[in-house]
Amino acid sequence: MPGWHIGVIGGSGLYEPGALEDAQQIAVKSAFGEPSGPVTTGKIGEVKFTFIARHGEGHVHSPSRVNYRANIDVLKRCGVTDVLAISAIGSLQEKLAPGEFVAVDQFIDRTAGRERSFFGDGIVAHVPLADPVCPRLSDYAAKAAKKAGAKVQKGGTYIAIEGPQFSTRAESHLYRQWGADVIGMTAMPEARLAREAELPYALMAMVTDYDCWRDPTEDVDVTDILKVMKENGERARAMLAELAAALPGERKASPIDTILDTSIITPREKWDIPAVTRLDAIAGRLIEIFPGPQD
Query: Catalytic residue positions?
Result: 209, 211
Dihedral sign (CA 138, 142, 145, 150): positive
Sequential DSSP letters for 40-109 = EEEEETTEEEEEEETTTTTT-S-TTT--HHHHHHHHHHTT-SEEEEEEEEEE-STTS-TT-EEEE-EEEE
| Cα distances (angstroms) measured from residue 116 to each of 72, 131, 150, 196 | 12, 17, 32, 10
List helix spans (H) across the chain. Answer: 68-77, 135-147, 169-177, 187-196, 222-246, 273-278, 284-287
Helix (H, G, I), strand (E, B) or coil at 293: coil
Residue 72 contacts residue 199 (beta carbons within 8 Å) = yes
Please tell me the distance from the alpha carbon of residue 279 to that of residue 185, in angstroms, as a whole number: 26
